[in-house]
């Protein structure tokens, strides 16, 4: 289909240095294929520490950023691209950094009227030696995505996760500890100024951790979610409000917990660069509303910033 991308040189930034490298490579490969079908001249770039030199040599018309996690999604690469004067997709420097810092993002979203979990930030060794709140609760790194390093501590547990005391812990010295909200896992993608749909996620293990997200058969997506229309409307409104409060642009995905018994909806986090395969949550929602994967990739490319729009 005619796309407006014909002949444009697009560098797809993928891989990277974070714990979500493999997920990013999968997303990147899917986006490379879509951009090629749209007529662009595509250069896949496995983003390493020489990224500035690589991009300065390539001088692409656009960087399609499919990096996930620290360095690629937290404002660092965005700042590099601003310095190089290159257009890029998804959120800018400030929104990317803010959304990746879960504690600060929660404060901004709460001030905007979005309901977020309680809890707080703790030294990971303090949280590993004794319960810092009564179980059940969830421990997660403050600046990671894809549920990397996330643990649920069950009611009656004698001790916190031993991994928090390990010298092999690689997710920062501070962890976020939040009360566990029983109920359903929901997700809402936002595309520009529109919340798309509500997906219910059913994890095989009952907890939507990294393995449930990315292992074959680890989870199933139910679209639309099996919740009431008012609850779905509230989830979409809250996702859009969070997207706007954080200053995001392009595509984001907000993850929720919803307790239907008490009608309690809590927004856990906003992902500024969601997974981008045809079966990822955000592309699934776009397809549900009639926008196939290639058209979604085209929309993201066309919505990319100009230099200086941080």
Q: What is the CATH number of the domain that holds 17?
A: 3.40.50.20
The answer on 150 and 108 residing in a single domain is no
- Among residues 74, 144, 185, 269, the one annotated as catalytic is 269
Distances (CA, A) of 242 to 109, 176, 188, 204, 293: 6, 19, 11, 29, 24
Which member of 144, 178, 185, 255 is catalytic?
A: 255
Both 150 and 214 in one domain: the answer is no
- Out of 46, 61, 211, 214, the active site residue is 214
* C-alpha–C-alpha distance, residues 83 and 115, integer Å: 36
The span from the CA of 152 to the CA of 248, in Å, is: 29
Look up 73 and say whether it is catalytic.
no
Domain identity same for 49 and 70:
yes
Known catalytic residue at 288? no
- 125/175 same-domain check: yes
- End residue of a domain, out of 75, 91, 107: 91
Instruction: Tell me: do 229 and 165 sit in the same domain.
Output: no
Work out how many domains the chain is built from and give that number: 3
* Global pTM value: 0.89
Phi-psi region of 120 (alpha: psi -120 to 50; beta: other; left: phi over 0): beta
Q: Is the dihedral of CA 67, 72, 78, 81 positive or negative?
A: negative
Q: Does 233 fall in a domain?
A: yes
Cβ-based burial of 168 (10 A; exposed 0-12, middle 13-18, buried ≥19): exposed
Q: Are 81 and 90 in contact (CB under 8 A)?
A: no
Choice among 27, 91, 96, 146 that is catalytic = 146
State yes or no: is 8 an active-site residue: no
Domain residues for the domain of 228 are 99-115+183-272
Instruction: Determine the Cα–Cα distance for residues 250 and 221; give it in Å rounded to an integer.
Output: 23
Asked if residue 63 and residue 211 are part of one domain, the reply reads no
CATH number, domain containing residue 222: 3.30.470.20
Catalytic residue among 187, 271, 280, 305: 271
H-only helix segments in 196-304? 210-214, 229-245, 281-288, 293-302
Same domain, 108 and 251: yes
Q: What is the pLDDT, as a whole number, of residue 217? A: 55
Task: Show the tokens assigned to 90.
Answer: 């998804």
In the chain (310 residues long), the average pLDDT of successive 10-residue segments reads 85 92 95 97 97 97 95 94 96 96 95 95 95 94 72 93 93 92 96 97 66 59 97 98 97 97 96 92 97 97 68
On whether both 232 and 210 belong to a single domain, the answer is yes
Residues 191, 250 within the same domain: yes
Based on the residue annotation, tell me whether 275 is a catalytic residue of this protein.
yes
255 shares a domain with 110: yes
How far is 76 from 266, CA to CA, in rounded Å?
28
Residue 64 maps to a domain = yes
Which residues 6+ apart lie within 8 Å of 142 measured at CB? Answer: 101, 102, 103, 121, 172, 174, 175, 176
In a domain, 300, yes or no: no
Domain annotation covers residue 197: yes
User: Within this chain, do residues 191 and 229 fall inside the same structural domain, yes or no?
Assistant: yes
| Cα pseudo-dihedral 59, 64, 70, 76, rounded to 10 | 40
């Amino acid at each position: 289909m005619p796309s407006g991308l014909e002949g444009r040189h697009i560098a797809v930034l993928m891989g990277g240095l974070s714990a979500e490298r493999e997920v990013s490579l999968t997303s990147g490969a899917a986006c490379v294929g879509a951009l090629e079908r749209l007529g662009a001249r595509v250069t896949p770039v496995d983003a390493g520490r020489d990224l500035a030199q690589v991009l300065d040599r390539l001088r692409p018309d656009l960087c399609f950023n499919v990096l996930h996690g620290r360095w690629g999604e937290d404002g660092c690469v965005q700042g590099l691209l601003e310095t190089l004067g290159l257009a890029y997709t998804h959120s800018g420097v400030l929104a990317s950094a803010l959304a990746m810092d879960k504690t600060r993002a929660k404060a901004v979203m709460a001030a905007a009227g979005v309901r977020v979990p309680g809890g707080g930030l703790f030294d990971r060794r303090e949280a590993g030696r004794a319960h810092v709140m009564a179980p059940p609760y969830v421990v997660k790194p403050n600046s990671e995505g894809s549920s990397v390093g996330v643990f649920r501590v069950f009611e009656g547990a004698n001790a916190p996760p031993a991994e928090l005391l390990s010298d092999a812990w690689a997710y920062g010295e501070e962890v976020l500890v939040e009360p566990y909200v029983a109920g359903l896992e929901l997700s809402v993608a936002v595309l520009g100024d529109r919340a798309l749909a509500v997906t219910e996620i059913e994890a095989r293990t009952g907890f939507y951790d990294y393995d449930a997200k990315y292992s074959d058969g680890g989870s199933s997506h139910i679209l639309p979610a099996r919740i009431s229309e008012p609850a779905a409307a509230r989830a979409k409104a809250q996702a859009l409000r969070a997207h706007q409060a954080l200053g995001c642009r392009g595509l984001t995905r907000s993850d929720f917990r919803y307790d239907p018994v008490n009608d309690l909806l809590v927004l856990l986090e906003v992902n500024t660069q969601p997974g981008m395969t045809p079966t990822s949550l955000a592309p699934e929602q776009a397809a549900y509303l009639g926008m196939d994967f290639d058209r979604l990739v085209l929309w993201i490319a066309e919505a990319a910033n100009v230099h200086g729009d941080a």
